[in-house]
């Protein structure tokens, strides 16, 4: 299995519409990815490294897929649509990490 981690930086003055992200963008992405998704988690940052610090990231999504090939196939077909939806809920471009799930 592989995991896609999507991190949205918490930049001063940036915009992130969490309601849109959870209720519109995520269901769209889930429909496009379909059965190749094993699990989907969304975290909302609340604090940074030290007490009272702002979190480095506003939101983090952790999406586990059956395989890298299936992930790439869906992204080839629907990636432009999914990336095009970003501007509807945020003005920051996320950071991505694709990784092997080694330990659970």
Helix residue spans in 34-67 (DSSP H)? none
Q: Can you state the angle between helices 26-33 and 68-84, rounded to 10 degrees?
A: 140
Q: Is the pLDDT of residue 104 over 90?
A: no
Q: Is the pLDDT of residue 38 over 90?
A: yes
63-95 pLDDT tens trace: 999 999 999 999 999 999 999 999 999 999 999
The per-residue pLDDT for 103 is 87
> Which domains does the chain possess?
2-44+55-65+79-100 (3.30.70.100)
Q: How far is CA 99 from CA 32, 49, 71, 93, in A?
A: 20, 23, 12, 19
Longest CA–CA separation in the chain, Å: 43
Q: What is the pTM of this model?
A: 0.91
Calculate mean pLDDT across residues 37-55.
94
Question: Do residues 2 and 74 lie in contact, with contact meaning Cβ atoms separated by under 8 Å?
Answer: no
């Amino acid at each position: 299995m592989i995991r896609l981690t999507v991190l949205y930086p918490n930049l001063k003055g940036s915009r992130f519409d969490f309601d849109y992200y959870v209720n519109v963008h995520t269901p769209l992405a889930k429909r496009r990815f379909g059965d190749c998704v094993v699990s989907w988690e969304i975290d909302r940052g609340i604090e940074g490294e030290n007490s009272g610090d702002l979190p480095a990231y506003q939101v983090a999504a952790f999406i586990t897929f059956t395989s890298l090939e299936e992930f790439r196939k869906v992204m080839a077909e629907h990636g432009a649509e999914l990336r095009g939806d970003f501007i509807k809920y945020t003005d920051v471009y996320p950071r991505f990490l694709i990784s092997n799930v080694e330990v659970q």
